[in-house]
Amino acid sequence: MAELKEELKGKIIEVLNLEDIAVADIADSDPLFGEGLGLDSIDALELIVLMDKEYGIKLSDPKQGKSIFQSIDTMAAYIAENRTK
Amino acid sequence: MSFGSAVYIHDFNCFTALGEDAEANWASILAGNGGIKAHNIGFLSEVYASKIDFSTIAVDEASEETRLEYILSQVMAPILNNHKPSRRTALVLSSTKGNISYLESGKKKEAELYRLAKKLSVKAGIVTEPILVSHACVSGVLAISVAKRLIQMDQYDEAIVLAGDELSAFVLSGFQAFQAVSPFPCKPFDADRAGVSLGEAGACLFLSRDSSMFKILGEGAINDANHISGPSRTGEGLFRSVQAALEEANVEADAIEFIAAHGTATAYNDEMESIAFNRLGLSTVPLNSLKGYFGHTLGASGLLETVITLKSMQEGVLIPTLGFEKLGTSQPLNVVERITKKTVRRVLKTASGFGGSNAAILIEKTW
Amino acid sequence: MVEETYIEKVCIVRANSIVVDTVPRFSSDDSLFAEFSKQAFRQINPEYPKFFKMDSLSKLAVLAAEYLLEGQPIDDLALVLANRSGSLDTDVRHQESIQNEQEYYPSPATFVYTLANICAGEISIRHGLQTENAFFIAEDYPINTARSYTEYLLKSGKAKRVLCGWVEFFEEKYDAVLYIVSPKGTNKHSAENIKKLFE
């Protein structure tokens, strides 16, 4: 799980072009949206693409994303349970 | 404050899935038809969109015209017949993506938008440099303003305003990535709306200083400065665009008798419009969205919807909002639900789009 | 009513350097635009992470505007921009993401930049410009149209000042010439003077 979380942080930084943020700067429980990394609605959609492309998980309801994308913890847990690749 | 001489709209035309000219479109709308059907587009199957049927059109293979160029040439032809271009005639073209489908076969140069404008202006026999407005979904309304403003600055005497965009896998894939495509024909302003249906169309109109039935009273195109894809929560840019149009026209908001809204049927857009119109005190003014008939035709939409609205003013018949059943915005709106005989003198046309863009234009029926 | 209008200030970004009026403000040996623009933007504004999420055309427009608008009043400042390629650089990237059915992953963050006017929206957001916006596409800078349109905005009272110019980016080739037109200054807003900016 720890490995998946590290991998996920790296991918998020790359895909969302988070300049000046390193893997070590993101705590597993940090909120990704709002106060945390300050992600916005386009980032949320981009995370849905990331879930599909990297882990073969299709999220068709954007509302579903809200609970899954709370933090690295919640994302990793969902991926571990539902990944198809 | 108004500036320069008044500018009038003369002939108009459109070409959509519902018909090859304005008359055919009008008849089809009155018959209650909608152009949105399930289509296979690119790798995507069973997507609701409004697509012009080319199977019955005899396209001259030798002409090397793209579908979009054919649509635009056809829609412009009757206008050119009535108004032979002079040395002071402008062509103002509105398009967001032009011949973007060229990219599927790696033809980058061919996909350049300015080439489309040049090709059409040569074909039309217009000698001035064509002007191409590419401003997301407000392009069509903004193109009318651009033509009007340049006539008022005396750069031109008259203008052919032309707008077109094609249904493409390029745009559809993007709207799908935005999870903004409706799984059924779009339902503008409805409680169960679930996103846009895309479409394709061409539209055209002619502007000059000579008086005619339709006078442009005022217009504005103001940015939200809020977010590149999400509309402002307060409708600020749209609110200010309408205010600018009213100020130029020197009338109050209560002079507006009908609103031809943008109404894309996404949750955020329609909600934003309801907020902006309520801030302007326009909640009881009859309003429609024509997206249920034609889908969202992007750079064509603002001009296409203006054309149908001019026809509506001419005939004294208000067109309902196809797909609308139950109001689904937080603020009240008076959405037209059935064909209504009513003479309206002053009409507001609005549009909003990506990049935080908005545009509004106020048109008066002079007789 | 506004009578005379002037080109008040100019910013040119090309060949890895930034010149404001005639003063060189930044240059770099880095040949890639991504690296050049990052350094140049950081020098003038170290705290705007949104910049790094933009496509190249928007980066170019926002970078040039950042240098041009430094120390400038932005009250009622309209935008009139133009280029040749529209958003074609990003269009090609979006097309690549949908070209093959097996590798079909259209990206919302790429797609949103497949509209030419987004770069004007980015400038508006950065500086809070709730003002008139227009984006034109032409083979070369449409001097007469840009001039007339800008004059219209000022003379009709729809704007107090206008940020105008050219922002072109395609496959690493770029050129930005942005200028402010206002009722203040000495360099007349004439077609000849606009032409000189592009020489």
Model confidence over C75-115: pLDDT tens digits?
999 999 999 999 999 999 999 999 999 999 999 999 999 99
The answer to whether C108 contacts A45, with C-beta atoms less than 8 Å apart, is yes
**Total structural domains within chain B:** 1
Q: What is the pLDDT of residue B358?
A: 98
Q: What are the tens digits of pLDDT across the range B92-137?
A: 999 999 999 999 999 999 999 999 999 999 999 999 999 999 999 9
CB contact under 8 A, C94 and B170: yes
Whether B174 and C133 lie within 8 Å, measured CB to CB: no
Q: CB distance B176–C106 less than 8 Å?
A: yes
- Report the neighbours of C using a cutoff of 3 or more CB pairs below 8 angstroms: A, B
pLDDT above 90: residue B3: no
CB contact under 8 A, A46 and C109: yes
Q: Work out the average pLDDT over B181-201.
A: 98
pLDDT at A71 over 70: yes
Sign of CA pseudo-dihedral B239, B244, B248, B250: positive
Q: What pairing do the DSSP bridges indicate for beta strands C161-170 and C77-83?
A: parallel
Q: Tell me the torsion sign for CA atoms B35, B40, B42, B43.
A: positive
pLDDT confidence of residue B58: 72
B170 touches chain C (CB under 8 A): yes
CA dihedral B94, B95, B99, B101 (to 10 degrees): -170
The residue among B7, B114, B115, B242 with the most chain C CBs within 10 A of its CB, best to mutate, is B114
Name the A residues in 23-82 with CB < 8 Å from any B CB: 40-42, 45, 48-49, 60, 62
Lowest mean pLDDT among A39-48, C84-93, C172-181: A39-48
pLDDT(A65) > 90 = no
Which residue of A12, A17, A41 is the best one to mutate when testing the C interface, meaning the one whose CB has the most C CBs within 10 A? Answer: A17
Q: Which helix (H) or strand (E) holds C15?
A: none
Residues of A in contact with B174 (CB under 8 A): none
Cβ-based contacts of B142 with chain C (< 8 Å): 134
Residue B1 has pLDDT above 60, yes or no: no
B220-233 average pLDDT score = 95
Best of B179, B268, B269 to substitute, by most chain A Cβ atoms within 10 angstroms, is B179
Mean pLDDT of B41-64: 87
pLDDT digits (tens, 9 = 90+) for B303-357: 999 999 999 999 999 999 999 999 999 999 999 999 999 999 999 999 999 999 9
C106 touches chain A (CB under 8 A): yes
Residue-wise pLDDT for B61-78, tens only, equals 667 899 999 999 999 999
Q: What average pLDDT does this structure show over B221-233?
A: 95
- End-to-end CA distance of chain B, in Å? 24
In the predicted structure, residue B362 carries a pLDDT above the cut 90: yes
- In this prediction, residues C157-175 reach a mean pLDDT of 98
Q: Are C134 and B221 inside 8 Å of each other by CB?
A: yes
The pLDDT score that the predictor gives to residue B119 is: 97
Q: Which residues 38-67 in chain C show a CB within 8 A of chain A?
A: 38, 49, 51-53
> A30-44, B190-204, C23-37 — which one is most confidently predicted on average?
B190-204
- Cα–Cα distance measured from residue B257 to residue C131, given in angstroms and rounded to the nearest whole number: 26
Domain count, chain A: 1
C-beta atoms of C49 and A52 within 8 A: no
Q: CB neighbours of B228 closer than 8 A, spacing ≥ 6? A: A42, B354, B355, B356, C112, C118, C121, C122, C125
Which residues of C are less than 8 Å from B1 in CB distance? Answer: 156-157
pLDDT surpasses 90 at B60: no
In a domain, B173, yes or no: yes
| Residue corresponding to tokens 């005989």 | B341
Contact criterion met (CB < 8 Å) for C108 and A46: yes
In a domain, B21, yes or no: yes
Taking an 8 Å cut-off on Cβ atoms, the answer to whether A42 and B179 are in contact is no
**Range of A55's domain?**
2-82
* A39 → chain C, closest CA residue: C50
Is there a contact between B204 and B12 (Cβ–Cβ < 8 Å)?
Answer: yes
| CATH number for the domain that contains residue B335 | 3.40.47.10
Name the pLDDT band for B220 (thresholds 50, 70, 90): very high
Quick check: C105 contacting A, CB < 8 Å?
A: yes
pLDDT for res C30: 78
User: On the CB side of A11, how many CA atoms lie within 13 Å of its CA?
Assistant: 19
Alpha-carbon span C19 to C26, nearest angstrom: 7
- Beta strand pairing status for B214-220 and B286-288? unpaired
pLDDT number for residue B50: 98
pLDDT of residue C9: 97
Mean pLDDT of the C126-133 span? 98
B177/C91 Cβ within 8 A: no
Give how far Cα B298 sits from Cα of B130, B133, C119, Å. 20, 12, 18
- Give the pLDDT of residue A72: 96
A45·B228 Cβ contact <8 A: no
- Please state the pTM of the whole predicted model: 0.97
Mean pLDDT, range B354-365, rounded to an integer: 98
Mean pLDDT of chain A: 91
* Homologous superfamily of domain range C6-197: Thiolase/Chalcone synthase (3.40.47.10)
Chain B residue at shortest CA distance from C130: B223
pLDDT at A66 over 90: no
Quote the domain boundaries for residue B207: 7-365
Model confidence band, residue C42 (pLDDT cutoffs 50, 70, 90): very high
Give the number of other CB atoms < 10 A from CB of residue C140. Answer: 12
From chain A, the residues in CB contact with C49 under 8 A are 18-20, 38
B150 touches chain C (CB under 8 A): yes
Distance CA C163, CA C178 (A): 7
Query: Closest-CA residue in chain A for B229?
Result: A42
Instruction: Calculate mean pLDDT across residues A58-68.
Output: 83
B227/A contact by beta carbon, under 8 A = yes
> Closest partner residue to B230 among A41, A49, A60, by Cβ?
A41
For residue C166, which of C115, C113, C119, C122 has the smallest C-alpha distance? C119
- Residues in A touching C53 (Cβ below 8 Å): 16-17
Determine, for residues A42 and B177 on separate chains, whether the beta-carbon distance falls below 8 Å. no
Closest CA to B164 of B196, B132, B208: B132
Count of residues in chain A:
85
Q: Do B356 and C121 touch (CB under 8 A)?
A: yes
Q: A59-73, B311-325, C63-77, C151-165: lowest mean pLDDT where?
A: A59-73
Residue C195 has pLDDT above 70, yes or no: yes
pLDDT (average), residues B84-89: 98
pLDDT over threshold 60, residue B49: yes
Chain C interface mutation, best of B95, B145, B149, highest count of C Cβ atoms under 10 Å:
B149
Average pLDDT on B149-156 reads 98
All structural domains of chain C with their residue ranges:
6-197
Answer whether residue B44 shows pLDDT above 70.
Answer: yes
Q: What is the pairing mode between strands B89-94 and C77-83?
A: unpaired
Nearest by CB to residue C84, choosing from B43, B114, B129, is B114
Question: Mean pLDDT, to the nearest integer, of C54-70?
Answer: 98
Q: How many CB atoms lie within 10 A of CB C166?
A: 24
Helix (H, G, I), strand (E, B) or coil at C185: coil
Please say if the pLDDT value at position B59 is more than 80: no
Percent of chain C with pLDDT over 90: 96
Asked if the C-beta of B233 comes within 8 angstroms of chain A's C-beta atoms, the answer is no
In the structure, what pLDDT confidence band is assigned to residue A18 with cuts at 50, 70 and 90? Answer: very high
**CATH at residue A69:** 1.10.1200.10
pLDDT at position A36 is 75
| Contact at CB, B1 and C144, closer than 8 angstroms | no
Contact C116 B134 (CB under 8 A): yes
CA distances from A1 to A55, A73, B79, B116, C54 (A): 14, 9, 67, 54, 32
